[in-house]
Amino acid sequence: MAIRVNDFTINIATANGTGSQSANLIILHSMYEMGVPVSGKNLFPSNISGLPTWFIIRASDAGYQAPGDHTHIQVMMNKDTWEKDLNNTEPGAVIIYNQDVKLPVERDDCVVLPMPMTKMARSISPKMAKLMANMYYVGAIAHILKIDQGAIEAAVSNQFGGKEKAIEWNLQAIAQGKAYAEENWDYESEYMAEARNKDPNTFLIEGNEATALGAIYGGINMLSWYPITPSSSVAESIISWIPKLREAEDGGATCAVVQAEDELAAAGMVLGAGWAGGRGMTCTSGPGISLMSEFIGLFYFSEVPGVIWDVNRVGPSTGLPTRTQQGDLSMLYEASHGDTQHIVLIPGTVDECFEFGWRAFDYADRFQTMVFGFGDLDLGMNRWSTAGFEYPDIPMDRGKVIRSQEQMDAIANYGRYRDVDGDGIAYRTLPGSGLDPILYRGTGHDEDGIYSEDPQVYHSTMERLKRKIDGARDLLPAPIIRQEKEKSVGIIFYGSMENTIVEIDDMLEETGLSVSTCRVRALPYHSDVEAFIEAHDNIVVLEINRDGQLFGILRKELPVQLLTKIQSVAYSDGLPPRARVYADLILETMKEVKL
Amino acid sequence: MSILKLNVIDLEKSEYKGGKSSLCPGCGHDQISNVIIQAAWENGIKPEGIAKMSGIGCSSKTPAYFLGKSHGFNTVHGRMPSVTTGANMVNKDLSFLAVSGDGDTASIGIGQFIHAIRRNLDMVYIIENNGVYGLTKGQYSATVEKGSKKKKGTMNEQSPIDLCAMAVNLGCSFVARSFSGSKKQLTALLRAAMSHKGMAIIDVISPCVTFANNDESYKSYNYVKENDEVLHIVDYIAHFSPIEAVEVPAGEFKEIKLFDGSTLRLETVGNEHDPTDPVEALRAIHDADKESRHVTGLLYYNPDKKTATETLGLTNTPLMALPESELRPSKQSLEELNEGFRTN
């Protein structure tokens, strides 16, 4: 019998709030500790306790990080989803289940492995039995995959950092689970986690925490926020890290944190901070962006810097609040009434969450406008590997701010909104400076900031704003392009699809297609994106939404002769993207264009 | 040649003026703008140290008409408090002077108004209250009294929101009501508000000459003049005033020490009012309301409440002035951070 080494998917079905997240992370981290290329996806409900949760762990020597197309090992702990989980399990899979749930498992076509998890947990602590039961499936999986005991111990001690009793009990439970499996199961495992040379520099971290750290190294000094899944952990990470990383000489705080009354107020605070010369930021998700939209227009029109970090969840409306999507992109790009256009930074890795986290402030100050960070729940709330964050390679860019009379005198014909050097960006002065004060406003204004309804004044203001944001294109992060010699098919994608693209690419190339890829990392899109489109015969714009939102933006902005080349492949069901789904959709589309 | 009068920081009053008003001639708001100019000048505040804030509406346009040497922000409808909050967080040394209206504050912006009070934002918040939406041509606002009638249309049948009562209930640290036609009272209250640390609210009844200055309107000039329930006579004594210039009144009075060392003297008329007692403040409001009168004066005062930035324990330097070395942690710190993640 051939053994599948580092090439399998485990699905663990539990109920929310039963402590299963600890057990799942111990499996994930112990394999990661061994150097097994592994990824974990938490599919959790909008609920604190009781509703079903699934955790998907995929090991893949090929480096695939999407949830696999097949589940090889199914763990069943939740009576509410028992039947569904059982029916979804494919023939040939291994089913590990908690026998104390007392529900039948009649699957002759699977390897069925029962364990009295709750009962055994009671022997360690009757009070904690419900929580501890989860550790028995850790033991069971450790047995089946031959996970290294040292790695398990490291993961447990990391998970329960410092709590000696918890470490002892949980290790005991895992050991009992392992022993039970060894003694009672007559099954020669077909799966194995084999140690690989782990880069000692790597570690796992959630995108939201990486974003938070980036913001701190970007000099954030005002954080306003209103709790919303899946963005709250950005704010909570900033709050927990900032006192450890930054302190003024007098011991006072260097970043004001305000939990706002709603998202409108959170955006207003960022605006106020930016206007007064600070680095303000808020984090939110789609519903919050909807509420902030009025202020986003004021940022754009009055030209005030600020950062809004959107961690996308599934819309429209309240949607699926704990599932992932790239459904906010077109809203971000043109948020608010009237003609607007905003800079959107789109990280695809945790390294980029950190990097764009600090760069966002520089872009905001440079272009005197609101800058969006755009991630999603998959990237933000799941753990991804990094070799360590890189320190900013440039000093902070505070943009065109006049800070002294001398600087003011050096500018001929100063006006708050007068473009004196042709880049569309005017100089500004700060409140408190006494330098050429104006009353900022969201109403029409001339180059000196004075109220105006003059048609020519309005028209030229709007043209300058267009020129200003357009000028950002090639200064924003360039796309990451991987180009084949034969320029047949080019896939344009962005954000967390990065974690699935390699597998999609491999699936397509298996069919004989030659596929290049281009990951867009910012809007307005870089000129390299257009060059990529020009260089390829057929372009697929691949997205995790229904309507093909980047496709729509490209169709609006590309030269008309390129439009016939581009096709949209967009699909969204709330789950992190599975390679097979997208690869098949791309193949179908290619068939339609008769490639 | 006339000798121009200078204030305590040697500035002429003209240094505090703004552009020409575009409001209706005779608008109460213009009188308030004049009082703002007068109060800021008399208090000797540096114009560049003031930040003028407003929302949207007739009242919110007025920052263009005063303090032309101060930066300002005419923001969006009802959301001025949040913009002020953000600016205050990064520059606590600015003196925030905000103007809002009754539509701006009592309807669309009531949430932000409440939360600014809750945080005790260090600002002066003037409500120019006329009971109607002027810029959209005279619809009733939420502060119009039941039984009041504007020039055109039917009588208002809904109960009003009393912003002062609400502010007292929320523990606002300085709550006053005045009338745009009472220049002396309003100037003294505004000067005191400017000397206060924390949120100072002045609800100023300011008649709308175009849509609601008829005698059946409870916020018309004639009505307010006849139904003004004055709590006390207010006198502001600046901390820099020479002692011999300060007269002592003949009757009973109370003095309130303000944050900057100035004094607000409250001379008793009728019953004595204790502004440190929130229940007494609410009683004064409700008693006047029962008789469809407007109570004016300093309703409530609590100097001991921490401001928003004090509660947060911010460093002494305004955050916007911190150098990069204090805002961006060192390269070594990032190396240690990475190492910590690796070994954990």
Q: For B340, name the nearest residue in chain A, comparing CA atoms only.
A: A203
Q: Lay out the sheet containing A370-376: strands in order across.
A: A256-259, A222-225, A280-284, A306-312, A370-376, A343-345, A522-523
In a domain, B155, yes or no: yes
Please report the residues numbered 204 through 263 in chain B whose beta carbons come closer than 8 angstroms to any beta carbon of chain A: none
Q: How confident is the model at residue B318 (pLDDT cuts 50, 70, 90)?
A: very high
The answer to whether A256 contacts B314, with C-beta atoms less than 8 Å apart, is yes
Q: For B52, name the nearest residue in chain A, comparing CA atoms only.
A: A439
| Structure tokens that stand for A328 in this block | 């906010």
Residue A205 backbone dihedrals phi, psi, to 5 degrees: -155, 150
Residue B22 backbone dihedrals phi, psi, to 5 degrees: -110, 15
How many other CB atoms are found less than 10 A from the CB of residue A256?
A: 26
pLDDT in tens, B252-284: 999 999 999 999 999 999 889 999 999 999 999
CA quadruple A412, A417, A422, A424: dihedral, nearest 10:
160
In a domain, B57, yes or no: yes
Q: So what's the ipTM on this one? A: 0.97
Query: What are the residue boundaries of the structural domains of chain A, listed by start?
Result: 4-192, 205-386, 400-477, 480-592
Residues of A in contact with B312 (CB under 8 A): 253, 256-258
**Side chain identity, residue A159:** Q
Per-residue pLDDT of chain A (595 residues; tens, 9 = 90+): 789 999 999 999 999 888 899 999 999 999 999 999 999 999 998 888 889 999 999 999 999 999 998 999 999 999 999 999 999 999 999 999 999 999 999 999 999 999 999 999 999 999 999 999 999 999 999 999 999 999 999 999 999 988 999 999 999 999 999 999 999 999 999 999 999 998 899 999 999 999 999 999 999 999 999 999 999 999 999 999 999 999 899 999 999 999 999 999 999 999 999 999 999 999 999 999 999 999 999 999 999 999 999 999 999 999 999 999 999 999 999 999 999 999 999 999 999 999 999 999 999 999 999 999 999 999 999 999 999 999 999 999 999 999 999 999 999 999 999 999 999 999 999 999 999 999 999 999 999 999 999 999 999 999 999 999 999 999 999 999 999 898 899 999 999 999 999 999 999 999 999 999 999 999 999 999 999 999 999 999 999 999 999 999 999 999 999 999 999 999 999 999 999 999 999 999 998 876 5
> DSSP character for B233?
E
User: Is A205-386 in the same CATH topology as A4-192?
Assistant: no
- The answer on pLDDT for B3 being more than 90 is no
- Residue B19: domain span: 13-312
CA distances from A261 to A225, A304, B109, B157, B330 (A): 9, 22, 12, 31, 34
**Side chain identity, residue A341:** Q
**Side chain identity, residue A344:** V
Q: What is the pLDDT, as a whole number, of residue B241?
A: 87
Q: What is the pLDDT, as a whole number, of residue A594?
A: 66
- The answer on pLDDT for B1 being more than 60 is no
B interface test, pick of A258, A291, A358, A403 with most B CB neighbours within 10 Å = A258
The answer to whether A200 contacts B342, with C-beta atoms less than 8 Å apart, is yes
> DSSP character for B142?
T
In a domain, B335, yes or no: no
Number of domains chain B contains: 1
Q: For B69, name the nearest residue in chain A, comparing CA atoms only.
A: A437
CATH for A205-386, options being 3.40.190.10, 3.90.1150.10, 3.40.50.970, 3.30.420.40: 3.40.50.970
Phi-psi region of A50 (alpha: psi -120 to 50; beta: other; left: phi over 0): left
In a domain, B341, yes or no: no
The residues with which A570 forms a beta bridge, in sequence order, are: A543
3-class DSSP assignment, residue B65:
helix
The answer to whether B85 contacts A272, with C-beta atoms less than 8 Å apart, is yes
Q: Residue B269 burial (CB < 10 Å; 0-12/13-18/19+)? A: middle
In a domain, B7, yes or no: no
Give exposure, A132-144, as e/b (b: 16+ Cβ within 10 Å): bbbbbbbbbbbbb
The residues with which B132 forms a beta bridge, in sequence order, are: B140
Task: Measure B332 CA to nearest chain A CA, in Å.
Answer: 9
3-class DSSP assignment, residue B282:
helix
Q: What is the pLDDT, as a whole number, of residue A89?
A: 96
**At how many degrees (to 10) do helices B183-195 and B28-43 cross?**
50
In a domain, B1, yes or no: no
At the top level of CATH, which class does the domain A4-192 belong to?
alpha beta
Residues of A in contact with B327 (CB under 8 A): 219-221, 246, 254, 279, 396
In a domain, B281, yes or no: yes
Task: Measure A40 CA to nearest chain B CA, in Å.
Answer: 18
Residues of B in contact with A261 (CB under 8 A): 111-112, 114-115
In a domain, B323, yes or no: no
Domain CATH for B280: 3.40.50.970
Q: What is the pLDDT, as a whole number, of residue A106?
A: 95
- What string of H, E and C letters represents the secondary structure of A34-63? CCCCEEEEEECCCCCCCCEEEEEEEEECCC
Q: Tell me which fold the domain A480-592 belongs to.
A: Rossmann fold (3.40.50)
3-class DSSP assignment, residue A283:
strand
CA distances from A162 to A165, A168, A383, A485 (A): 9, 11, 22, 54
**Side chain identity, residue A305:** P
Q: Residue A585 burial (CB < 10 Å; 0-12/13-18/19+)? A: middle
